[in-house]
Amino acid sequence: MDHLSLCPLVVLLLCLVILALSKIFKTVIQDQEKSTADIPPGSHGFPVVGETLQFMLSVNSGKGFYEFVRRRRIRYGSCFRTSLFGETHVFLSTTESARAVLNNESGMFTKRYIKSIAALVGDRSLLCASQHHHKILRSRFINLFSKKSTALMVRHFDELVVDALSGWEHHGTVVLLTDLLQITFKAMCKMLISLENEEELGSLQRDVGFVCEAMLAFPLNLPWTRFHKGIMARGRVMEVLEKIIRERRNETNSHNNNYREDFRQQLLAVDSDGSASSSDHSTKLTDAEIKDNILTMIIAGQDTTASALTWMVKYLGENQKVLNILIEEQTQLAKQASHKPFLELDDLTEMTYASKMVKESLRMASVVPWFPRLVLQDCEMEGYKINKGWNINIDARSIHLDPNVYSEPHKFNPSRFDEEAKANSFLAFGMGGRTCLGLNMAKAMMVVFLHRFITTYRWEVVDGDPSIEKWTLFARLKSGYPIRVSRRL
C-alpha cells in the first residue's frame, strides 16, 4: 500500500482512539455525576485521588474548604457523594438526616475524622476514639463540665477579657482574631492545666497552632510537609503535658498543699488517691488518654470560640439595629453589676438578647461546618443506598442556611430565637452522643466577651475583606478582622 491509501486508515484509527479515550475519560470523570438508581449523585473524580485535588484547591482558595461542599450541594442537592483521600464521602443536609445520623439510635454510625486529624490529636482523643472507647472517655470527661466549672470559667474568662481589653484603645489597629485566640488559649490552659506563665503559654500556643494547621494537610510525613511540622509540634506538646502531669503527681504525693481546681487535678485524682482506681478500673484514665484529650480540649475550645467571637463582632458591626438593642441591654446590666469587679454566671442569665445574638452568630458562622461519621452497616438515607465503610457527613452549614428551615437565612436576626428553633435545626454544637462538651462554657464565654466589648468600646473596621483563611479546620477570616477602637463614654 502506498502512503496515500494509508492516510484514511490512519485517520480512521485516530478517530477510533480519540473516541475510545473520550469514552474512558467520560466514564472516569463524569459517569458518576448522574445518579444510578440508588447510589447518591456526585463524582468520584480521578482514580485513586478522587476529588482530593479539588478539595485542596478549595482549601487553598480565599473561599475556604466549605466551598468544595457548597458547590456540590447546589449541583446535586441535599445528598451527594465524592471521593477524598481515597475514601467515599457522602454529604447530607436535611434535619431528618441530622437526627438519624447524629442521634445514632440505630448504632449504624460512628465518628471518624480524616487520617491526618487522628495522627495529630492522638487516637485516644475523644474525637477519634472507637465507639466503645469514646463512651468510657466521655463518661469521665463529662463530669468536668459541671455548672461549677462553668461558673469558675466565667469568673476567669471575665478577668482575662478585662485585662486584655484594657489597653486596646492605645494599640492602633487590633487584629481581633489574633487577640481572641490568645485570650481563649489562656482561658483553656488555665481551666485545663493551670498554666499561666507567659513564656510557656507562648511556645505552647505556637505548637498547638502548628498542629491545627496540619489538620487539613495531606497526611504525608516528610520533613518539608505541613503535616510533618504538625506531627513534630504534637510531640513537643506531649512532652510539655507529660512534664506538667509528672509535676502534679509529685506535688500530690508529697502532700504539697498547692491544690488547684483545674481539669488535670480532677483527672489525676482518680488514680492518685488510689481508691477510685482500685475499685473501678473502667474509669481510670491512662496518661496517654489524659494528654491526648487535654490537647483535644485546647484545640476544641480555643480556635472555635475565638473564630465564633470574631464572626460575631463582624455580624454586629454590619447590623446597626441589632447593635443598638444590644447596647441598651448591656449598659443597663453594666450599671447593675458595677459594684462587683467581675461577672458571675448568674449575671449572664439576664442577658437574654446577648444570648440570642450568640446563637444567631453561631448559626450564621457554622464554625464547625460539617460532622463526619463512618457507616458501620449498609443502609438507606434520603432514598439512596449508603454502603458500609463510607464516610457520611452532616452538612450543618447548609441546614443553618436552608430557607425551608430558617426564614430569610442570610439575614442576621437574633430575634428569630424568640421562638424555639425547629427540631434538629440548630447544630452549632452538634447533637446526640457527640454533642460538644463545652457548649455551655462556650456560650458563656461569648456572652462575657460581648458584654465587656460592647460596654467598653466603639469600633471601626480597618479591613473588611471576607476571604477565608487557608489551612484552618474552622472557618476563620483571613484578615483576622482588624479594627480600631475608641472608648465608649
Which residues in 106-125 contact ligand HEM (CB under 6 A)? 111
Strand partners, 83: 88
466 phi, psi to nearest 5 deg: -85, 5
Smallest separation (angstroms) from ligand HEM to the CB of 181: 13
Q: Which residue in the shown chain puts its C-beta closest to ligand HEM? A: 438
Smallest separation (angstroms) from ligand HEM to the CB of 305: 4
Determine if 308 is a binding residue for ligand HEM (CB under 6 A). yes
46 phi, psi to nearest 5 deg: -80, 155
Determine if 437 is a binding residue for ligand HEM (CB under 6 A). yes
Determine if 316 is a binding residue for ligand HEM (CB under 6 A). no
Determine if 477 is a binding residue for ligand HEM (CB under 6 A). no
Determine if 351 is a binding residue for ligand HEM (CB under 6 A). no
Query: In this structure, is the dihedral angle defined by the CA atoms of residues 202, 204, 208 and 214, taken in order, positive or negative?
Result: positive
Of the candidate spans 249-257, 282-290, 297-305, 342-350, the one that interacts with ligand HEM by CB under 6 A turns out to be 297-305
Indicate the SS3 state at residue 392. strand
Indicate the SS3 state at residue 393. strand
Determine if 183 is a binding residue for ligand HEM (CB under 6 A). no
Q: Which residue has the cell 488547684?
A: 260
Q: How far apart are CA 198 and CA 185, in angstroms?
A: 11
Determine if 369 is a binding residue for ligand HEM (CB under 6 A). no
Output 54 or 116, the one with its CB closest to ligand HEM.
116
Determine if 371 is a binding residue for ligand HEM (CB under 6 A). yes
Of the candidate spans 39-47, 235-243, 410-418, 424-432, the one that interacts with ligand HEM by CB under 6 A turns out to be 424-432
Q: How far apart are CA 74 and CA 97, in angstroms?
A: 18
Cell of 383: 432514598
Determine if 154 is a binding residue for ligand HEM (CB under 6 A). no
Determine if 304 is a binding residue for ligand HEM (CB under 6 A). yes
Q: How far apart are CA 283 and CA 302, in angstroms?
A: 27
Give, in order, the Cα–Cα distances in Å from 414 to each of 47, 202, 312, 440, 479. 46, 36, 11, 18, 25
Of the candidate spans 76-84, 281-289, 379-387, 426-434, the one that interacts with ligand HEM by CB under 6 A turns out to be 426-434
Residue 419: in which H helix or E strand, if any?
A: none
CB 208 within 8 A of CB 121: no
Determine if 305 is a binding residue for ligand HEM (CB under 6 A). yes
> Which positions touch ligand HEM (CB under 6 A)?
111, 126-127, 138, 296-297, 300-301, 304-305, 308, 362, 367-368, 371, 428-430, 434, 436-438, 441-442
